[in-house]
Each structure stands twice: as structure tokens, then as C-alpha cells.
Structure 1
Amino acid sequence: MSPARDLPQCTDSDLSLTDGVALLRFCRDDVRNALTGTALIGDIVNVCNWANEDERVGALILNGNGRAFSAGGNIKDMASKSGMFGGEPMAVQDAYRRGIQKMSLAVYRTEIPVIAAVNGAAIGAGLDLACMCDIRLGSRRAKVAESFVTLGLVPGDGGAWFLPRVVGTQRAAEMTFSGRLVEADEALEIGLFLELCEPDALLDRALVLAAGFAGQPRRAIRLAKRLLAMGQRMPLDDFLDHCAGLQALAHHGTEHDAAVAAAISKITSKA
């Protein structure tokens, strides 16, 4: 892993790093933090890539600064066939592949825990972005929708892959086919949110949760996240072989030695 480097410059977001917790807040409230037609996709991709390379980072929080977490695609651009929605079909396809789908891959491949602190509406690609994260905390003001069909579209950012892994295939199908708005209480009930928080307490709760993750041995956390992802796509026998290999690395790491010594010291002191 490469040494620490400067925090990446963000265009439409604010980024901070405190005690191992990186906080990326989207700052385009004028368009309800729409992902298209802004620099938010590039900000997210750059921060995820930086977090993978900088061992100071133990957890990452994504949060919307303003009314919404993210409104997803910019509808005005869709209406005018401008930006990534303009041009012939091949050009639009390439715009998805080289734009928002890079974000999908970057968030999914982030090697540390990623928490979505969903402060308000998460609509379309905004909901999908939240589902790309490991954990979602919701404000009681939050509302979510897999709303693509209501605009005659499909989830071009991979939402049909992420959403079923969060809420199950049957609920994902119902949300996708209806495009309906899901209120915060229901989002908690179906497992989309881990917890609900009062609006003023959401970010503090996310910071506490992230700090707990960042306080764990950093390399063990990254290896554990890698296993969680691989477990979704590997047969058990191959997966167990891979677990054994990563565990061998962990057993010979200085983090393991220090953690075991601390545990033994704690046991001894209580004897």
C-alpha cells in the first residue's frame, strides 16, 4: 500500500479526514445533489481511489449537505437530451460506461467500510449509490425510490444488481416495478437502513459508527471487507481456500501480534 498523500481536491463536495474517518459531503443542494450534470461522480471516484491507497483511512462516510442525499440523474438534462443523455445511442451508452458506472465500480471496490448517511431524498441513482455502500443510516426525513421506470428508464448504474442484495429479490422487484416512494420507517423495516436517526443526530451517529470501524486493525478490516465481497460470487470450496490464504497473511501481521498481546494483557490484569 502506498504511503499517505494529500487529500484529493473535490469540486462539488467537501472532504475531511479526522482520526481515520473520511467524510465526503455533497455540496450541490441547488440541484438536490444530482449525480449527473455536476462533478459529484468524479469527486466520489477520486475519493474512493484515494481511500484505497492511503492507509490512514479506516472508514468513509458519504452524506448530502442540504435537502437531499442525492436526486440521482438530472431530469432537466434528460428532457433536453444534453450532457451524458445527449447524442446517438452508442454515445449515451459510452457516457454511462465512462461516467456513472465508474462510480458504481469505485464505491463497490472501496477497500474500507463505506457508510451512507442518508439525510434526505435518495432517488434513482441516489438510492443506488446508497446501496453501493456497506451500511446505510437514515434520517427520519429520508425518502428513497428506485424510480427509473416512472421515467421510462432502467437502472443504468447497476441498481438492479445492488438493490436485491440489500432488500432481497422480491422487495427489489416490487420497488423497481412500481418506482414508488418509500418512507424512512419502511426503509428501516425492509432492511434498507440499519438505523434511523433524528435529522440533527444523523451525522454524529455516522461518525461514531465509522470511528469504531476505523479503530479496528486497519489491514484486518480491509481483508474482511474483501472476503465479504468475494463470498457473494465464489463457490464455498474456493472461498474457503481464499479465506485460509488471507488468514495466513493476517496471522503473520504486526496488527495481529499487537492485538493478541493486548487481549492477553487484559485477561491477565483481571486474573
Structure 2
Amino acid sequence: MTYQLIEFSVDVGVATIALNRPERCNAMTVAGDKAIRALVLTGRGSAFCAGGDIGGMKRRLEAPQGEVAFNGWSRQQGVHRVQSLLLNLPKPTIAAVNGAAAGLGADTALACDFLMGSERSKFTWSYVKRGLIPDGGGSYFLPRRVGLARAKELIFTGRMVEADEALALGILDRKVDSGELLSAAQAWAGELAQGSPTALALSKKIINQTFERSAHEIFDLGSQAQAICYTSAEHRDAVMAFLAKSSSKE
């Protein structure tokens, strides 16, 4: 699967990236831009992202036997860089799942902080049907969304999960009408981005580590992060604004 550019726009601090390969069902510089406060990832056409390109799989099998493993490893490094960027982006991220999200496409949606869908949304971790394992983080993300046993069931069967079931299982966080999906996701992203960028970035980094670390380690990370927040312009401005408002009431 190849991640290609696509469509990119920014409106009132919310960046929208659209996977724009509808003829392939959307087989797939925000981090450092302070003007961008949140990211919405969506698709163009009838699918969010249909995962691996079968033509690419065929070419992989046709490579000399001694090169297949290293070629695969090299490809995985690129995939993991993209997924890690989404996971660790220091801003709120929303996947607006406008259609099918299959295989790596489903993993990419789960790499975002939140998933919003419509009646057209559906998910499948279909790797097993190609003799593969989830290679885009599905083995990490999915159990955290639906629990260990249900994640195993979805990965072992590769079955399709329609929108209502996805909402019930916690794969989707919100469901809206398809005609409202992108605007609703952008509005939600804007709402999530209203807080201090410093506090949001540090909170996300800590929360992402919660299941892997002990309570003591999370407390330590929180102490360090709070010390940084104490020095931020947003904290100072918020405190001064509160004090000024209190003084005006006296």
C-alpha cells in the first residue's frame, strides 16, 4: 500500500487530509505547524482506505526470493513511520471514516485519537484472508478499543463490521449522517483544539502510555509535564484573565 498526496486544506486551525485515490479505493508537515491545532483524516470516493494493493502484493511475490524479506521489512518501516506520526501527533486527530476501512486502512483510522463515521462506515481487519497479520498497528490499537477477546475474534475472522456494530463495540466514537460527516468531524476537531496546545500535547503523550506504564511512572510523567505547563504562555494568560475577571466583580 502506498501513501500518496492527496488533498490538504486548513480552516480555522483544523487541517483536513483526504486520501484521494478513489480508483484504488484510497490505498494510503502537520506536526510542526503551530497554526494547525487539530487534524481530520478522511477519504475521497466510496472508501476511507481499502488497505493493501493486491497488484503490489503480486509484484512483491515476483521479486527474487532472496530479496522478499528485506523488501518487506523496508516497506514496513515506511508504514510504521506514518502510523507512529498519527499516534504521536501532538494535536487531536479524528478519522472521518466515510466508507470502507479495510486492513491497513482500518489500522490507520485507529491510529487517530477518535473515529467518527456514518451509515456508510465499515471495518475489516482482513489480513488473515491474505495470509498476513495486522501490520499497521491493529494488534496494538484494536484491543485497546474493543478488548482482547473481541480483537482476536475480529482479526482471526477478518469479518466485516458495519457502522452500528462498530459504534456499539467502541470502534466508532460517534456516528452521523453521511452528508454531515466531514463538517461534523471538522467541528469536533475545532472543539477539541480549544484548549492549551501545550497541555493537549503533553496530556496526549502521557495518556498514550497509560496501559504500558505503572501508576507511579504516570505520576512522574505528569509531574514533569505539569512543570512545563506552569511556564507556558497559555497558563499565564489563563491565570491573568481569571484574576482580571475576578477583580472586576469586586
TM-score, normalised by the number of residues in structure 2: 0.91
C-alpha distance in structure 2 between counterparts of 1:75 and 1:216, whole Å: 43
1:122/1:269 CA distance change after superposition, 3 Å: farther
Name 1:52's counterpart in structure 2. 31
Count of aligned positions: 246
2:195 equivalent to 1:202: no
Q: More displaced, 156-165 or 85-94? A: 85-94
Structure 2 SS opposite 1:177: helix
C-alpha distance in structure 1 between counterparts of 2:143 and 2:224, whole Å: 30
Aligned residues with identical type, % of pairs: 35
Q: Shift of the alpha carbon at 1:214?
A: 2.2
Q: Deviations over 1:222-248 (max 9, x none)?
A: 111111112232211122112111101
C-alpha distance in structure 1 between counterparts of 2:13 and 2:247, whole Å: 30
C-alpha distance in structure 2 between counterparts of 1:267 and 1:144, whole Å: 51
C-alpha distance in structure 2 between counterparts of 1:11 and 1:110, whole Å: 19
**Alignment partner of 1:13 out of 2, 6, 29:** 6
C-alpha distance in structure 2 between counterparts of 1:72 and 1:94, whole Å: 18
Code of the aligned partner of 1:213 = L
Structure 1 SS opposite 2:107: helix
Query: Structure 1: which 5+ runs fail to align?
Result: 1-9, 36-49
C-alpha distance in structure 1 between counterparts of 2:62 and 2:82, whole Å: 17
Query: Structure 2: which 5+ runs fail to align?
Result: none
Structure 2 SS opposite 1:61: strand
C-alpha distance in structure 1 between counterparts of 2:237 and 2:77, whole Å: 43
Name 1:257's counterpart in structure 2. 236
Q: Shift of the alpha carbon at 1:249?
A: 1.3
Q: How does 1:1-271 map onto structure 2 within 5 Å?
A: 12-35=5-28, 50-78=29-57, 80-82=58-60, 86-87=63-64, 88-265=67-244
Q: Shift of the alpha carbon at 1:94?
A: 2.1
1:71/1:256 CA distance change after superposition, 3 Å: same
Contact 2:103–2:134 (Cα < 8 Å) also in 1 = yes
C-alpha distance in structure 2 between counterparts of 1:269 and 1:23, whole Å: 41
Code of the aligned partner of 1:30 = E
Structure 2 SS opposite 1:81: helix
Structure 2 SS opposite 1:22: strand
Structure 2 SS opposite 1:230: coil
C-alpha distance in structure 1 between counterparts of 2:225 and 2:233, whole Å: 14
C-alpha distance in structure 2 between counterparts of 1:94 and 1:76, whole Å: 18
Structure 2 SS opposite 1:248: helix
1:85/1:116 CA distance change after superposition, 3 Å: farther
Aligned alpha-carbon RMSD (Å): 2.0
Contact 2:111–2:137 (Cα < 8 Å) also in 1 = no
TM-score, normalised by the number of residues in structure 1: 0.84
Structure 2 SS opposite 1:122: strand
